[in-house]
Amino acid sequence: MDLAYTEEEEAFRARLRDWLAGVLPKLPPKPDPLDWPARRAYDCGWQRALYEAGYAEVHWDASPTRRLIFLEETERAGAPYVGANFVGLLHAGPTIAAEGTAEQRERWLPPVLRGDEVWCQGFSEPEAGSDLASLRTRAVRDGDAYVVTGSKIWTSHAEVADWCELLVRTDAGAASKHRGITWLAMPMDAPGITVRPLRTLAGSTEFAEMFLDEVRVPVENRVGEENDGWRVTMVTLSFERGTAFVGEVVACRRVLGQLAHEARKNGRWDDPAVRRRLGRLSAEFRALWRLTQWNVSEAEATGGVPGTGGSVFKLHYSHARQELYDAAAAVLGPDALDLGREWNLDRLSSLSYTIAAGTSQIQRNIVAERILGLPKGR
């Protein structure tokens, strides 16, 4: 395993760096974070710029190492993150690329790369908690369509999405709750869909609850076989835990540098305990980046789909992120109560990271069973 970059990869970095230096000063101001139609337009405009410059496919078709370089350079330059395109680029797109038919890849992938279509995620359900396999939204086959009835919650970007990656139960009598599930691509303009935005603790509205009343989804929109959706879902979650948070590690390393600068300005740097805390966090995020490189190298060797090492990353990263913003509150002192100060809303948002994309308990179970080979609990 070689974690060093090749000459070709460094040449890619140089070209990208030059392009970013030319295009970023021309970007319009970022919209109000609560104005999701404006945010969609801004995020899709950035994606279109990447597409026209030949960088849009870096999430799927380029090597994972190039993707790391892309994330390093875009974060270093202060470029926009994926935003409203998060689900399409990092969840649904990679899943369709890996599991979809040739027709499905041709239909759905180019619009995501061009920034023409936005996806949302319809996985979580009320009362199912983190036990995704306990979903109850059902789909009944009626000719050439599935008729879907039920509800979803924490549906990311539903307010502005064109498509939803949707999990439904197609066999209520299956021997196991992990069987009888199917992965569908649902058009968000289909009759019978009601979306109600949710406001989070941090004031953001990227989530929504979604109600489905006999929504007809064409059978041709099924990705994978009927009742084989749990296996397809594991591919989606592998990308979610293995690579979707990688860009945020780069951002956390930048925030840590800003935090040290702020501590020097307000005098808290004189406290040895603060310096030790920031130093330990620096080591944590350096280790996480090395773990990221390790996982990417493993994925390249096994065809591009991240393995269970993504659960190790997700478990460690979600806790390190919370510790980072706790340290930010210590550096800010009384200003930590002012929600208008930088990092305070990020601190509130960080509380969700030990739940999102599978709780820490779920990740520990995966590590115990699939990496350490321990027996399953009852």
Enumerate the active-site residues: 240
Residue 40 burial by Cβ neighbours in a 10 Å radius (0-12, 13-18, 19+):
buried
Contact 201, 241 (CB under 8 A): no
Contact 151, 113 (CB under 8 A): no
Contact 145, 152 (CB under 8 A): no
* DSSP 3-state of 200: coil
Positive or negative: CA dihedral 180, 107, 246, 83: negative
Element (H, E) at 310: helix 309-332
For the chain, state the CA radius of gyration.
21
- DSSP, res 156: B
* DSSP 3-state of 138: strand
> How far is it, in rounded angstroms, from Cα 14 to Cα 34?
35
- DSSP, res 371: I
**β pairing state of 163-169 and 119-122:** parallel
Tokens of 291: 């773990």
> How far is it, in rounded angstroms, from Cα 211 to Cα 204?
21
> How far is it, in rounded angstroms, from Cα 93 to Cα 302?
19
CA of residue 144 relative to chain centroid, distance: 32
C-alpha atoms less than 13 angstroms from C-alpha of 77 in its C-beta half-sphere: 22
CA of residue 117 relative to chain centroid, distance: 17
* DSSP 3-state of 83: helix
Of the candidates 229, 250, 92, the one whose C-alpha atom is nearest the C-alpha of residue 157 is: 92
Residue 9 burial by Cβ neighbours in a 10 Å radius (0-12, 13-18, 19+):
middle
